[in-house]
Amino acid sequence: MKTTGALQRQRLQGPLVSGMGEGQVQVRTEEMQRQTLRIYGELMARREIWAGRMVLACGAAVSATGLPAAVSIAGATALLLDPDAAVVKAVFRQGGVDFVVNTLNEALRVLKNEIRKGRPLSVVSEGEVAPAVAELRERGVLPDMQVVFRGVEDPAEGLGREVLELEGSADAVQPSEGLQRWLDQRGWSEVELAAATAAGLREVDARLLAMLPEGDKVRRAWVQRIARYQRSAPGGARVMWLTQAERTAAGLPAAVGTD
């Protein structure tokens, strides 16, 4: 799929990536983490065990939606078909994807072993989308889930066993009714825990892990893994789900609801 001029402009003006000059973009970590948490929630609201499963998404700048990190934190593998070389490069530099390859064959070879072992991994196949989708169909590859963003053309329609259609846009995912019910059942709400320095953010994470129950695998996995995939600038925040009681008892800095 070729990137149209209109789609290119939409990507450069969105909240998750911004232009830095000819052929260069910058990923905006302050919004990316919030979106990644929401996508992670959409996955976990459907099932809490994702090991050995593969998630597919395709389209220009799909690697900069937060999806690769969300899938990896959930424990699954992700195959992203993204023709936007500048965005792919920016996300890879940030740690948002594990591998970038030039052919679908390379991507599937890398993923096959990790799927068999039940280990998380994200791979971007950089290049035209339509030929890669056609090859997936010809080879009989059937991802466990296909993620689509409402309003974005998806040439891989019907390719996954299950389809997750995200609300909002690729730049601004909103919690679905299903995710909101899942959060409400647990008494969790989205908050932002501010820190003035990188060391302060590590302290926030440490205090969260000390507070969360050992059996709370969903939130503990988020806190333990998000920093690996999204490197915050000095002085950042941890976007997180907490109960009101946890927010009161933790004594964490500046918890502000982000709903």
What pLDDT score was predicted for residue 31?
A: 80
Range 175-201 average pLDDT:
92
pLDDT in tens, 112-156: 999 999 999 999 999 999 999 999 999 999 999 999 987 666 677
What pLDDT score was predicted for residue 250?
A: 67
Most trustworthy range by pLDDT among 16-30, 46-60, 234-248 = 46-60
Phi-psi region of 178 (alpha: psi -120 to 50; beta: other; left: phi over 0): alpha
Average pLDDT of every residue of the chain: 83
183 against 154, higher pLDDT: 183
For residue 95, the SS3 value is coil
C-alpha distance from residue 85 to each of 23, 43, 62 (Å): 8, 27, 11
Report all structural domains of the chain as residue ranges with CATH numbers, in order of start: 5-174 (3.40.50.10730), 187-257 (no CATH)
Range 86-98 average pLDDT:
92
In 10 A of CB 259, how many CB atoms? 8
Range 244-257 average pLDDT:
66
pLDDT in tens, 59-88: 988 999 999 999 999 999 999 999 999 999
Rounded-to-integer distance, Cα 238 and Cα 208, Å: 10
Most trustworthy range by pLDDT among 81-95, 161-175, 229-243 = 81-95
- Give me Rg for the CA atoms of the chain: 18
Share of the chain above pLDDT 90, in %: 62
In 10 A of CB 240, how many CB atoms? 26
11 against 195, higher pLDDT: 195
